[in-house]
Amino acid sequence: MESNPVERFPERYSELYEPSMRRRLIEPVRDLAVSLMSPLASAAYHIRYARVNHVRFVYYHFVFGDQASRFAEHLRFYRDNYRVISHSEAISRLRDGRVDDRYLSISFDDGFKNNAEVAAPILEQFGMPAIFFVVANLMKFSPGEESELESFSRSRFGHRPLRNMDRDDLRRLLAGGHEIGSHTLSHARLSNTTLAVAEREIAQSRTVLEEMTGSPVKHFCFPYGLAADFPAHCRDMVERAGYQSCVSAIRGANQAGADVYHLRRDHIMANWPISQLKYFTRTNF
Ligand SMILES: [Zn+2]
């Protein structure tokens, strides 16, 4: 019997990756170590950094249905420990030097459907705006193009395909008070492309997303996220293309005076316990 193609999409995090030694053994050990280190990190934070004003950017890729209640716990932690603000406000505070408290801004990378279906309603319950950095070409896959989506996902994201958001999802997120940012056209590693391709990935993704959403796209997020993935000439291209900011995946807090085209940001998984969240939001100043 032929299976419904939609049934092939993972519905929980445990189905997302092919089974591997790393996922089965190394990640649980790392998670446990981080949880054990967390009280130490919190103690050091309260002594050294609790009064250091900063902007902390946290980002997710997905929130699956079985992670919804944990994700709500994360938002409660942010609400109790930070002033949660929109990405645009975070950027304007950093640009103007108005970093007079502990601020936090939430983002999502790539553009998967569960962002709109699971994460956004919970964010809205908490009255928290987020920015969704979407891969412009990913937004164009329609039902029926599963095999193309599968090869796109495996080559770009290294995991099984997930249903993608589309134009209507982006418009609904905007109407709900969220922002849409660009994460390139095709999730290209900008350090590995010619100048012309990098320019197109950066500038054209903005135009495509603005046409799709009918709204200005002001912020950029470069794929893969490490310093080596984002050479200085690309940083300058982002600024020239008219974006107001660019975030990385290099962990840490941002203080007044940070380069708004190379901001630090912490990757968070929606299934993590609060102890892990504390560890990553209380280190790397
Ligand atoms: Zn990405």
Q: How far is residue 188's CA from residue 199's CA, in Å, rounded to a whole number? A: 11
Find the 154 Cα to ligand 1 centroid distance in Å: 12
**17-72 residue pLDDT tens:** 888 878 888 888 888 899 899 999 888 888 888 889 999 999 999 999 999 999 99
Question: Using one digit for the tens of pLDDT, what is the confidence trace for 73-91?
Answer: 999 999 999 999 999 999 9
CB-based burial, 98-119: b 16+ in 10 Å, e otherwise? ebeebbbbbbbbbbbebbbebb
Total Cβ atoms within 10 A of residue 18 = 9
Q: Domain extents for the chain?
A: 54-281
Q: pLDDT tens, 136-174? A: 999 999 988 999 999 999 999 999 999 999 999 999 999
Distance in Å, CA 56 to ligand 1 centroid: 19
Residue 54: its H or E element = strand 54-60
We find that the CATH architecture of domain 54-281 is: Alpha-Beta Barrel (3.20)
CA–centroid distance, residue 112 to ligand 1 (Å)? 11
CA of 142 to the centre of ligand 1 (A): 20
C-alpha 222 to ligand 1 mean position (Å): 7
Ligand 1 center–CA 190 separation, angstroms = 12
**CA 174 to CA 218: how far, in whole Å?**
13
Q: Is the dihedral of CA 10, 29, 250, 49 positive or negative?
A: positive
Q: What is the average per-residue pLDDT within 276-284?
A: 91
Say if residue 273's pLDDT is above 60: yes
The candidate with the shortest Cα–Cα distance to 246, out of 228, 266, 225, 267, is 225
User: Separation of 24 CA from ligand 1 center, angstroms?
Assistant: 23
Identify the pLDDT of residue 19: 81
Confidence of residue 96 (pLDDT cuts 50, 70, 90): very high
Output the CA 169–ligand 1 centroid distance in Å: 18
- The string of pLDDT tens digits covering residues 171-227 is 999 999 999 999 999 999 999 999 999 999 999 999 999 999 999 999 999 999 999
